[in-house]
Amino acid sequence: MVESLQPDPELEAAFWHRGKQRVVGLDEVGRGCLAGPVVAAACVLPPSFVPPLPVRDSKQLTRAQRELLAQVILEHAIAVTIGAASHREVDRLNVRRATALAMARALRRLGEWDHVFYDGLPMPEFSSPCFTAVVNGDERCLSIACAAIVAKVTRDRLMARLARRFPFYGWERNAGYGTAEHLAALEAQGVSPFHRRTFSPVGLSLNATHPRQSCSDQDLER
């Protein structure tokens, strides 16, 4: 049921009641994509925040719902920041380390904070007592769920912009994930400058003809 996936601020409240207001929800999107960056968001909510519709796993929401919620979150949050790791960094570092890098960049932009709840299993980069890993965090922690929504909306918009330069792959629809449409375009068109070379379906297409256009890290900025 939808209600079972509705996160509440219970985890954050344990810190709010001790006078600690800058409690962070941290999440990322794009780990499994064949193209584009990993994008992370850090979100600090006020205790009074009530979302206008159920906030749960961002992938279960429609695009219109995510856009609405992202706007509300940005308007009412104490702070929201974005960090990213480019497709090149994913290839150079591996996707797990690139994910940690994107999350760390979002936190650095945030400045001071009291505690961080982040989605997933414990990560060695975030092992101090100031961090708590929350499995299925976007279903259990309101701040994580809000961070996930902002991260996904930010990344989806970026991939839609890149799709105007590379229209073959349907990135405005699949956001770089390995859909049938995307895989068929990889086979027909080859690899773009924004594909992750170390990901298997992309590696198989490396020798195919592909659009000879350049890219820069500025294309990945928000």
User: What is the per-residue DSSP string for 167-194?
Assistant: GGG-HHHHTT---HHHHHHHHHH---TT
Asked whether residue 100 is assigned to any structural domain, the reply reads: yes
Residues in the chain: 222
In this structure, what DSSP letter does residue 3 have? G
Asked whether residue 62 is assigned to any structural domain, the reply reads: yes
pLDDT of residue 55: 81
pLDDT under 50: residue ranges of the chain: 1-4, 210-214, 221-222
Q: Strand, helix or coil at 201?
A: helix
**Beta bridge partner(s), residue 35:** 195
Asked whether residue 64 is assigned to any structural domain, the reply reads: yes
In this structure, what DSSP letter does residue 141 have? B
CATH number of residue 108's parent domain: 3.30.420.10
Query: Is 219 marked as binding a ligand?
Result: no
Asked whether residue 178 is assigned to any structural domain, the reply reads: no
Distance CA 143, CA 145 (A): 5
Q: What type of residue is 19?
A: G
46: tokens are 């006020």
Q: How many CB atoms lie within 10 A of CB 214?
A: 6
Is residue 178 within 8 A of residue 203, CB to CB? The reply is no
Asked whether residue 170 is assigned to any structural domain, the reply reads: no
Q: Strand, helix or coil at 25?
A: strand
pLDDT of residue 207: 61
Q: How many CB atoms lie within 10 A of CB 189?
A: 17
Q: Which domain holds residue 158?
A: 2-162
| CA 43 from centroid of its chain's CA atoms | 12
Query: Is 75 marked as binding a ligand?
Result: no
| pTM for this entry | 0.89
Q: Strand, helix or coil at 208?
A: coil
Asked whether residue 115 is assigned to any structural domain, the reply reads: yes
Q: What type of residue is 169?
A: Y
147: tokens are 């961070």
Asked whether residue 13 is assigned to any structural domain, the reply reads: yes
Asked whether residue 192 is assigned to any structural domain, the reply reads: no
Angle subtended by helix axes 63-76 and 142-165, to nearest 10:
120
Number of independent structural domains in the chain:
1
At 123-146, the pLDDT tens digits run: 999 999 999 999 999 999 999 999
pLDDT of residue 2: 41
